[in-house]
Amino acid sequence: MFGVTTPTSKRRPQRTCIACRRTDDKRAFVRLVCTESGEVEVDNSGKKPGRGAYLCPSKECWEMALKKNRLEYALRTQLGVENRRTLSEYSHTQLQKG
């Protein structure tokens, strides 16, 4: 369950990739945020306000998140055509394959 903490643990915050469900340090992921305007943006600072989701920095996970609407489900939003294209472009230009 979410929200369960282990009191003796001093580990860094863990996050889960919404595509492959891998868990890791949150800095190992790319944060996406749904802003007030409903646009989904890549949050490189990790500090933008809004509902956030995490993805591995890998094209496979981004493709899965975009094609299977996992991102929309996680952020409870609907991606517009332009927004989807922007995110797709980001995955193709900024991310490694594999």
Residues making contact with Zn ion (CB under 5 A): 17, 19-20, 22, 56, 61
- Cα-based torsion angle of the residue sequence 51, 55, 60, 65 in order, rounded to the nearest 10 degrees: -20
Residue 17 beta carbon to Zn ion: minimum distance, rounded to whole angstroms: 3
Q: Directed axis angle between helix 81-94 and helix 59-67, to 10°?
A: 170
Nearer to Zn ion, 7 or 13 (CB): 13
- In the complex, the smallest distance separating the C-beta of residue 47 from Zn ion, rounded to whole angstroms, is 22
Query: What's the closest the beta carbon of residue 32 comes to Zn ion, in angstroms?
Result: 12
* 17 or 74: CB nearest Zn ion: 17
Rank residues 56 and 79 by Cβ distance to Zn ion and give the closer one: 56
Assign 3-class secondary structure to 7-42: CCCCCCCEEEECCCCCEEEHHHCEEEEECCCCCEEE
